[in-house]
Chain A
Amino acid sequence: MAVTVRIPTPLQRLTNGQAEVQCTGRTVNELLSDLEKRYPGVKERLCDEQGKLRRFVNIFVNEEDIRFLQGDQTAVKDGDDVSIIPAIAGGGVGLLC
């Protein structure tokens, strides 16, 4: 078992075209590190030089925005659904991506 992570269209080039991938980790931060190991280059698109999640990247754990949970320290467990959704300045959620 692992956590299912939904990848937005602009990043699917890095995941060999997959819209959903399986990752492991106890927190969102660990998930992102695992994601980077499997698909190098993903993390720099999601996090800035300090490793902080970029402002216009929203991550949802089971439909809940992690900004209102514990940020990248939010706990995840096997079977959880994690979505990465770019917030588009001016266009709501990332449907155009």
Chain B
Amino acid sequence: MSYMVGLKCRECGRVYPKEVIFVCEFCFGGVEVDYDYDAIRRVFTKAALANRPKSIWRYRELLPIEGEPTVGLFSGFTPLFRAERLAEVLGVEELYIKDDSVSHPSLSFKDRVVSVALSRAKELDFDTVACASTGNLANSVAALSARAGLKRYIFIPADLEMGKIVASLIYHPTLVAVEGTYDEVNRLCAEIGAKYPWAFVNINIRPYYAEGSKTYGFEIAEQLGWRVPQHVVVPAAGGSLITKIGKAFKELKLLGLLDEVHTKLHCAQATGCAPIVTAIKAKSDIIKPVKPSTIAKSLAIGNPADGFYATRVVLDSGGSAESASDDEIAEAMKLLAETEGVFTETAGGVTLAVAKKLIEQGVIPRDESIVVCITGNGLKTQEPLMNRLGQAARIRPTLASFESELASQLADAPTRR
């Protein structure tokens, strides 16, 4: 049973059938999936959800597929945990990490959107899928389309981290490294998509794809015991995730699963690529494109597709925006690892660095509840850490060598006799 009614223009409200349409033919606005919320309200209850599988598909009434899900059956429902050691360092009372660095199968939140996009692409009879990606999306499309038996073309900027290239190539897609920025890759993909009948997950089937990000928000609410935090700090590249987290909370309230939603959404970007942050700080809805220069390559989108909507959702929530420098990003990656045992990628460093800044600035009060969104895994972005970490103590395989090399640490260590 599907509760998806059709597609609707976010700007002028014109409605369209649930086909491969991603832009309003009349006013050129983006289109979004429309649901029958009255029918959903009757079946989408806390009790009904309690017994469902721990994946994104437990929220399937609010996801845009017609039949049974076919791709990404194990994606989602990643850990949300209280981060007490990190909270102590930051001087706050109630801090949580929502940890998509362990997302199945490709270790980033993109598994959520790709599971939805590919399930829908199969329903729409595509046999070939494609994407323009800063890395994580590439990994996820490569992995999930392999298991789904779809042909796949993946387009990335040529200068990506080795980890992200290897984690795409292993699934044997056609990987195309484009000599240019992500924005140029995206523009090229729009041209290719006009010529070849492929499902570009983040372009022509974007309305379906983007809905997958809502599950990140649903999970935050459900895992906190059907309540929402006072603050959520979210990284932004294209600006879709933060928009959809806002939508997720609104839908849960509309359906009666949340009483009140007073969550302030805070947007995190790298200083070297902060078009959305700049607009939010200026309280403007005009996004001025930039040329990215940051170690946070997964966030390096200079012309964000959902920048306008991200700006609006943040300002409407009473939230804020801040950016982090390369050094702050690397320090925050280390801090998260040292305090909470989570190795996140550079984007996670951006998010935590921004959360820290907003707390220090008093924008996020120290006694209010905070969720920090960790969306990717550090094993994929090792290059920027190479010269910023300590080194292993190198010794010969003898007790004497061990004790002489580590003499200072061992001076006060208790021994067995």
Q: Which of A15-23, A25-33, A54-62 contacts B (4 or more CB under 8 A)?
A: A54-62
B28 touches A87 (CB 8 A): yes
Per-position binary interface string of chain A over residues 38-75, scored 1 when its CB falls under 8 Å from any chain B CB and 0 otherwise: 00000001001000001111000000000110000000
Is B43 close to A, CB under 8 A? Answer: no
Distance in angstroms from A43 CB to nearest chain B CB is: 12
* Pick from B194, B288, B305: contact of A89, CB under 8 Å: B305
Instruction: Tell me which residues across on chain B come within 8 A of A87, comparing CB atoms.
Output: 28
Is B381 close to A, CB under 8 A? Answer: no
Is A96 close to B, CB under 8 A? Answer: yes
Instruction: Tell me which residues across on chain B come within 8 A of A57, comparing CB atoms.
Output: 27-28
B187 touches A10 (CB 8 A): no
Instruction: Tell me which residues across on chain A come within 8 A of B159, comparing CB atoms.
Output: none
Instruction: Tell me which residues across on chain B come within 8 A of A90, comparing CB atoms.
Output: 22, 30, 202-203, 206, 210, 238, 305-306
Q: How many A-B pairs fall under 8 Å by CB?
A: 82
Q: Mostly helix, strand, loop or mixed at chain A's interface? A: loop
Chain B: which residue is nearest A56 at the CB level? B28
B28 touches A94 (CB 8 A): yes
A91 touches B308 (CB 8 A): no
Distance in angstroms from A55 CB to nearest chain B CB is: 6
A88 touches B23 (CB 8 A): yes
- Count of chain A residues near B, Cβ 8 A: 21
Is B193 close to A, CB under 8 A? Answer: yes
Chain B: which residue is nearest A58 at the CB level? B28
A88 touches B190 (CB 8 A): yes
Per-position binary interface string of chain A over residues 83-97, scored 1 when its CB falls under 8 Å from any chain B CB and 0 otherwise: 000111111111111
A86 touches B308 (CB 8 A): no
A86 touches B306 (CB 8 A): no
Given A55-B308, A57-B28: A68 and B288 interface contact (C-beta under 8 Å)? yes
Candidate in A45, A57, A87, A88 with the most chain B CB atoms within 10 angstroms: A88
Is B323 close to A, CB under 8 A? Answer: no
CA distance A93 to B190 in the complex (A): 8
B306 touches A92 (CB 8 A): no
Is B29 close to A, CB under 8 A? Answer: yes
A93 touches B22 (CB 8 A): no
A89 touches B206 (CB 8 A): yes
Is B38 close to A, CB under 8 A? Answer: no
Is B303 close to A, CB under 8 A? Answer: yes
CA distance A95 to B189 in the complex (A): 10
Is B224 close to A, CB under 8 A? Answer: no
Given A54-B27, A88-B23, A88-B28: A95 and B305 interface contact (C-beta under 8 Å)? no
Is B183 close to A, CB under 8 A? Answer: yes
Given A55-B308, A67-B286: A92 and B186 interface contact (C-beta under 8 Å)? yes
Closest 3 CB pairs of A and B: A89-B30, A86-B28, A56-B28
Q: Show the binding face of B for A, using Cβ within 8 Å.
A: 10-12, 22-23, 25-30, 183, 186-187, 189-191, 193-194, 202-204, 206, 210, 238, 285-286, 288, 303, 305-306, 308
- 12 A-B residue pairs with Cβ-Cβ distance under 8 Å, sorted by A, are A48-B27, A56-B23, A87-B28, A90-B306, A91-B22, A91-B23, A91-B190, A91-B203, A92-B186, A92-B190, A94-B28, A96-B193
Q: Show the binding face of A for B, using Cβ within 8 Å.
A: 10, 45, 48, 54-57, 67-68, 86-97
